[in-house]
């Protein structure tokens, strides 16, 4: 009977006499150790390392630990996997505020991985379980990207694949399909090994072997076929873009003085570029991109800040996108301003996905009652913008996704659906020192470039700033904590990838697959209980 054949929980365990004492405890600890180390292995696959392929053995090890387990055991194993992955990945969140928020964030985020682990254990008894299990992982990422407080997508498997062979899948169905393909391949590798061992023992079903092989082959073949969607060919001509990295003071300045220094640094680097252009050493840019927080002094309220920006725009004789903090109608806004050298400010874009506990404080009254110092860290909440950011630089339309927004699928996609021919991700990573955060964010932008087939620029206050081609290749980048600029001709594109056109639909389809797998597993378990 099919139900009996697929619900056997590792019969090889039942054939061995029970271990006793210390040996039994050691054996019980092995799955826990494998889960935690598999999580660490997944972390190591992420940038700045280019070991993307380690994600496959990471999920293979996770599958070995989970297959056939009870939901309670799988919950614990999933939590250990989440801790092994997220603790080192997100250590940068504690650079500015200490280890407390970092550990709290990881403890909460690992709960999602634990729940996914329990689900994977449940579907691991089904035929074709790698498909159901990979869809469940994608479902877990989808939920984590939306709740609580607007979600936290950092650590999506797709963001670790900027250098990998699976990257073209992003153009096919976005980060959900890319992540699903990687996880499916990892689970499929484990299943191939498991079935090879069973074949040696004389147990092998052709259907199970076919599913295992297809779990590995389909993502690889799909990525190879999707290469046709990846191109850096110009479709609407080219534009010469300048990315400015002004740098920040290292020490010795009060906060207000540092804000002015950061503005002056970016204006100075822009004038340095203007001198090189005038000397014929670099091409004249069509427009200039400054990073987030390049002017934390509101130029609409401070004439001296406006004069500095105006002077820089006139020197380079090109419009400049300036990242500023603006207070308007009683609302505090993280705003990008398009500043024309002749007409002054023309357009604005207000960041829509503001960062909880960084740009606004959820449950402010409750946290203030617990510890008043917490509320002093974010004295005033930033308000959210409500319109996609697409700046008109003459004939060129540039989509804007400010820093944290690059992690959210919708925040990048709707700039392209609103006509963006290229994308800019202005960021401020200065508060995270020389941590891996800036490299993780750069990898996100590389995935977005392929996902939407657009050039992506990443202007950052202190680095790493970069220009990324539509095929995900980093054309040029700066160092960290140095004043620098990039002046480069880039292709403009207008066509939409399947990922751009389909939007959320691939993710919804995978959510339905995950729900179907859980429903089937529940029905099998119910029939088993009735049979008993």
Among candidate residues 109, 141, 282, 351, the one labeled active-site is 351
Among candidate residues 141, 191, 292, 335, the one labeled active-site is 292
Q: Is 403 a residue of the active site?
A: yes
Spatial separation of the C-alpha atoms in residues 24 and 400, rounded to whole Å: 57
Each residue of 461-479: b (16+ CB within 10 Å) or e?
Answer: bbbbbbbbbbbbebbebbe
Spatial separation of the C-alpha atoms in residues 139 and 353, rounded to whole Å: 21
- Tokens for 191? 């299943």
Spatial separation of the C-alpha atoms in residues 290 and 313, rounded to whole Å: 11
Q: How many CB atoms lie within 10 A of CB 79?
A: 23
Q: Is 351 a residue of the active site?
A: yes
Instruction: Give every CB contact of residue 7 below 8 A, 6+ residues apart in sequence.
Output: 125, 524, 525, 528
Residue found under tokens 């002015």: 260
Residue 441: closest CA among 45, 48, 44, 43: 48
Residue 113: closest CA among 89, 129, 91: 89
Q: Is 20 a residue of the active site?
A: no
Sign of CA dihedral 134, 210, 58, 444: negative
- Tokens for 494? 């207008």
Q: What is the dihedral of CA 311, 317, 320, 325, to 10 degrees?
A: 10
Q: Give phi and psi for 240, each to the nearest 5.
A: -100, 115
- Tokens for 459? 């202007």
- Residue 327 three-state SS: strand
Among candidate residues 141, 403, 405, 507, the one labeled active-site is 403
Question: What DSSP line would sit under 181-224, residue for residue?
Answer: HHHHHHHHHHHHHHHHHHHHTT---HHHHHHHHHHHHHHHHHHH
CA distances from 228 to 171, 232, 448 (A): 10, 11, 17
Q: In sequence order, what E strands does 329-436 have?
A: 331-340, 344-350, 389-393, 396-400, 422-424
Could you list the active site residues? 292, 351, 403
């Amino acid at each position: 009977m099919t139900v009996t054949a697929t619900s056997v929980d590792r019969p090889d365990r039942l054939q061995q006499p029970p271990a006793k004492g210390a040996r039994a405890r050691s054996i019980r600890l092995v799955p826990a150790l494998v889960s935690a180390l598999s999580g660490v292995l997944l972390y190591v696959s992420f940038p700045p390392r280019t070991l993307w392929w380690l994600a496959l053995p990471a999920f293979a090890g996770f599958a070995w630990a989970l297959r056939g387990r009870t939901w309670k055991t799988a919950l614990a194993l999933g939590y250990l996997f989440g801790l092994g992955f997220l603790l080192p990945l997100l250590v940068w969140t504690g650079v500015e505020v200490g280890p407390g928020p970092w550990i709290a964030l990881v403890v909460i985020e690992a709960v999602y991985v634990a729940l996914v682990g329990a689900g994977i254990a449940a579907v691991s008894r089904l035929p074709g379980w790698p498909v159901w299990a990979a869809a469940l992982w994608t479902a877990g990422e989808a939920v984590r990207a939306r709740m609580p407080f607007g979600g936290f997508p950092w650590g999506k498997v797709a963001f670790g694949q900027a250098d990998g062979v699976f990257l073209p899948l992003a153009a096919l169905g976005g980060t959900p399909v890319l992540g699903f393909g990687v996880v499916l391949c990892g689970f499929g590798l484990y299943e191939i090994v498991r079935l090879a061992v069973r074949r040696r023992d004389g147990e092998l079903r052709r259907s199970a072997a076919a599913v295992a092989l297809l779990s590995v082959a389909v993502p690889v073949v799909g990525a190879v076929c999707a290469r046709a969607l990846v191109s850096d060919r110009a479709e609407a001509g080219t534009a010469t873009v300048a990315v400015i990295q002004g740098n920040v003071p290292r020490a010795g300045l009060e906060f207000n003085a540092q804000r002015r220094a950061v503005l002056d640094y970016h204006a100075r680097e822009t004038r340095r570029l203007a001198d090189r252009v005038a000397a014929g050493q670099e091409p004249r840019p069509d427009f200039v991109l400054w990073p987030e927080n390049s002017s934390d002094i509101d130029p609409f309220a401070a004439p001296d800040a406006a004069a500095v920006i105006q002077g820089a725009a006139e020197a380079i004789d090109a419009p400049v996108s300036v990242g500023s903090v603006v207070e308007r109608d009683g609302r505090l806004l993280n705003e990008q301003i398009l500043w024309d050298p002749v007409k002054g400010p023309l357009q604005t874009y207000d960041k829509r996905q503001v960062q909880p506990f960084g740009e606004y404080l959820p449950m402010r009254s409750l946290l203030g009652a617990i510890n008043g110092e917490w509320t002093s860290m974010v004295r005033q909440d930033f308000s959210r913008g409500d319109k996609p950011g697409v700046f008109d630089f003459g004939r060129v339309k540039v989509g804007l996704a400010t820093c944290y927004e690059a992690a959210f699928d919708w925040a990048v996609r709707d700039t392209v659906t609103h006509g963006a021919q290229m994308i800019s991700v202005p960021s401020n990573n200065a508060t995270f020192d020389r941590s891996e955060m800036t490299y993780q964010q750069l990898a996100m932008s590389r995935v977005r470039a392929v996902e939407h087939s657009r050039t992506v620029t990443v202007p950052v206050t202190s680095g790493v700033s970069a220009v990324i081609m539509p095929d995900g290749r980093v054309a040029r980048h700066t160092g960290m904590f140095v004043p620098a600029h990039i002046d480069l001709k880039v292709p403009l594109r207008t066509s939409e990838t399947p990922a751009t056109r389909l939007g959320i639909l691939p993710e919804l389809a995978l959510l339905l697959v995950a729900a179907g797998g859980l429903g089937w597993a529940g029905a099998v378990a119910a029939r088993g209980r009735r049979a008993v």
